[in-house]
Structure formats: C-alpha cells, structure tokens
Structure 1
Amino acid sequence: MPLRREQVVEAALELLDEVGLDAFTTRALTERLGVQRGALYWHVKSKQELLGAVTELLLRPVFADTGEEEPNVFDNLVEFAHRMRDAMLAHRDGARLVAAHVTVSASGLKLMQRVLADYARQGIPLPVAARWGDIIASYVTGYVLQEQTAPAEIAFDLSEASPELLEMLGDHHPPSAETFAASVATIILGMRAEAATLASPA
C-alpha cells in the first residue's frame, strides 16, 4: 500500500511522544515506517514542514468545530484555553512543538473566521478579538511549557523565606489545573473590563 502523508504525520507524532523533540530524527521516522528517505520527502519537503504538520495534527482537537460554542466571547475564550492546554499536555514536548512550529489547517482557519464574526456581532472589534485570542494562546503555551519542563522540586534555598512566600510558592508550584484555571479567569476579567470600555459611549 502506498505511503500516505497522513500516515507519515501520525507516525511522526507517535515517535515524538516516545523519544521527545530533541531526539526526533527523520532517519528514525523512516525506520519506523520501513521506507527510504525519498518516500518520506515525497510527502514533506523538510523536517520543518513535517513538524509543522505534526503541530497541526496535535492542535486539531482545539480547532475542531463541535457545533457547541459557548454563548459569549469570554466563555469561548475560556473553552479555547482549556482545549489548547489539554491538546499540548496530551503529547510529549507539546508546548515546545506548538511554540516553534504552530500552524492552523484550512478547516481551523474557517472556524476562527466564523468565531471572529460572532465576536463582531457581539460588539467586539476584530483587532481586539484577535489580540485577545493571541494573549490566551501565548499564555497557555507558556504555562504548558512550564508544566512540561518544571522540576518537581524548587531548586533554590528557601531557608530564609517568609511563611507568606512559602505559602505562595506552595500554591503555584508545581503548576496545576487549578492554578491554570484561576489564571485564565484573571485574564478574562481584564478582557471583560476592556469590553466594558468599548461598550461605553465616548
């Protein structure tokens, strides 16, 4: 059976989950697929293009059109944040991959355009909505990067730390779903405040 591009990308994601981004090579992928390098590069022109396609596959659940969008901008952004975090955490080095090779499929772009149109109907200017989406995506990627790379223990001397500082560090290290949700809620509060100024007459 001829090798398909989707087969290449899926195998690459599986290999990345096993060995991590630093150890990933196209040679290992061709060995996994049982093909020559020429067969691989028939479907992708370079390793960078391959990793971009893998990132698109990783993010597919984030941009899937479930037909169940929340009724307002802010609920949509919260849902987007959690879906993006879940997608990256589901794969080894997911945040590093997204940070360096982010790409969005044609179907994902179509969904984004529809969502932005919904925002416009709710009085949110397109540049503001796009900026909010970028803020959420950047925060989520950074947070998951910390989750996937942070040491289990804090590696500095806390012998002189105050009880208040120790409590704060205990609440935020290591990163957790609860801290993530609280942080996203704080970001959304700022966006709600900005939206209120947009709705107010000049």
Structure 2
Amino acid sequence: MARRTEALSRERIVDAAVELLDTVGEGGLTFRALTERLATGAGAIYWHVANKGELLTAATDAVVGTALAAEPDGASPPDRVRAVALALFDAVDDHPWIAAQLSRGSGQVTTPRILESLGRQVRAMGVPRSEWFSVSTALVQYVVGAATQNAVNGTLPGPSTSREELLGAVAERWEELDPEEWPFTRAIAGQMRVHDDREQFLAGLDLVLTGIAALHPGT
C-alpha cells in the first residue's frame, strides 16, 4: 500500500481532478469519482488532499500556472502581457469551471500568482512605484474579468445551440428594441452577431495598455 500511495502523487490527483471538472463540472468532482478514475482508495487521496475545496484550488492553480508560463522570453513588456493574458483567456475558455473559482476569489495562491505575473510587466513598463497597485490591479481585473465573463457567456442554453445561434438570437433581440430609446445598441447589433471573442478581448487589452502608456509616457 505504501508503494501505491507514493505512486499516487498530488500531481496525478490534480490532473485527474482537472479531467473530471472538464467533463462533468464542479458538481461531478467527488472523491468517489476520483477513486474510480485513479483506481485507488479514498485514503490514498486524502493523504495528499484534505478536501474538495483544496482540490479545486489546486486544480485552478495548476491550469492558471500553465497559462502564466506562456510569457515569451525577449519580448517587450506589453507583448508579454498580451501573451499571458491571451493564454489565460484561452485557459478559462477551455476550462469554464475556472471562471467560478476566479470569480469567487478562491485560491490562496492563484490570484496573487496572476497579479505577480502581470505586475512584473507593469513595473518593467516603467510605471512609477506609487502607481503599481492601481495599474496592476486594473490590468488584472480586466484580464480575469473579461476571461471569466466570456466563459459565462459561452455557456450555451442547450446542447443543440451553437455559438452562432446564440449570438444571432441576442443580435435579433437588440435589433427589435425601440429605435428611439436604444439607438446605439441597435446600431451595433450586427457586430454582436459576427464578432470574435478573442479579438474583442485583445482589443480591450490594447485599450488598457494604450492607457497605461498615455498616462506614463516615459515608459
């Protein structure tokens, strides 16, 4: 049994948890399901992970940690921000359950890890130390907020509903609004119908980065 417990590492348990979360969601992540997937006893799992909350935190941190490693060597700070931000966006899109974890602020390590990664680039851009907190937290709030909101928006109402159908339905509702009360919303309804989520995310990120550069022109 000791040899079996050693083989069952915390990393293997977390990887299995991520697979379960991807297939059956948070509600399906149980220690019983894990024991079946890993072909082991519950005691061996509890040896590495105390409870479901700790397991969710570890799974979230594992996926986010992989995304943060996307920072390219030799790139400029803004390009590093774009690479990390897009990797986070894609990670949350691929693992929608992360959205709930990040929205809850759960994860004793995950949120500071994101702040550390993006904050270092804010510092490298030459932002004064007195502005590090406000600039870096605003950047984190945009990246995490936009990524999680996209994951929430991507939750389709039924298995037969495609993204195109969902966007088309939203655009149609906008187009049917009163033209005097909702002129702007009606005007962009066509763009809602055909927009690309990743391009929209990067456009917003560029607005934030341009704002940082404008406020701190010496960067």
TM, length-normalised to structure 2:
0.71
Alignment: residue pair count: 195
Q: Distance in 1 between matches of 2:37 and 2:120?
A: 41
Pick from 57, 60, 63: which aligns with 2:65?
Answer: 60
Q: Distance in 2 between matches of 1:61 and 1:7?
A: 15
Amino acid corresponding to residue 45 of structure 1 in structure 2: A
Higher relative contact order (CA 8 A, sep 6+): 1
The answer as to whether partners of 2:93 and 2:147 remain within 8 angstroms in 1 is no
Partner residue in 2 for 1:34:
39
Q: Are 2:124 and 1:89 equivalent residues in the alignment?
A: no
Structure 2 Cα separation of the partners of residues 113 and 57 of structure 1: 15
| Gap regions ≥5 residues in structure 2 | 158-165
Query: Partner residue of 2:28?
Result: 23
Partner residue of 2:204 out of 179, 183, 186: 183
Q: Counterpart amino acid of 1:32?
A: R
What RMSD, in angstroms, separates the aligned Cα atoms of the two structures? 3.4
What is the deviation of 1:175?
A: 6.2
Distance 1:90 1:160, change over 3 A: closer
Matches within 5 A, 1:1-202: 1=4, 2-64=7-69, 68=73, 70-72=75-77, 74-100=78-104, 101-104=106-109, 109=113, 112=116, 116=120, 119=123, 122-125=126-129, 126-149=132-155, 152=166, 153-154=169-170, 158-162=175-179, 165-172=185-192, 176-196=197-217, 199=218
- TM-score, normalisation: structure 1: 0.76
Q: Which runs of 5+ in 1 are unaligned?
A: none
| Deviation readout 1:31-79 (Å, 9 max, x if unpaired) | 211222221111011111000110011112222175515323x333222
Partner of 1:160, secondary structure, is coil
Q: Which 4+ residue blocks in structure 1 deviate beyond 4 angstroms?
A: 155-158
* Offset of residue 17 of structure 1: 0.8
